[in-house]
Amino acid sequence: MSVSSSAAAGRAQGRAARLPGRSVVAAGSALALAVVLLYLAGFEQGAVALFDGTTVHEFVHDARHALGFPCH
């Protein structure tokens, strides 16, 4: 094995080693976004409300029914 081919193999292994970390960050970010959106659509009202009024409730009203959350 030549020096240049072993250097290229080392660079390829380095890239492969970093890729799963990026995938974990992307999956974690997607999961966090999904949880926030699910909270806003399903639970943003009443005692656990983060926002005053019914603005968020009315904004996601149809999505709430489509996801099976009762709100009336």
> Do 43 and 65 touch, CB atoms closer than 8 A?
no
Domain residue ranges in the chain: 3-66
Reported pTM: 0.57
Residue 12 has, within 13 A of its CA and on its CB side, a CA count of: 6
pLDDT digits (tens, 9 = 90+) for 7-62: 555 555 555 555 577 889 999 999 999 999 888 888 877 777 788 877 887 888 88
Q: Residue 26 has which token pair?
A: 């992307």
| Amino acid residing at 9 | A
**Could you tell me how far CA 27 lies from the centroid of its own chain?**
6
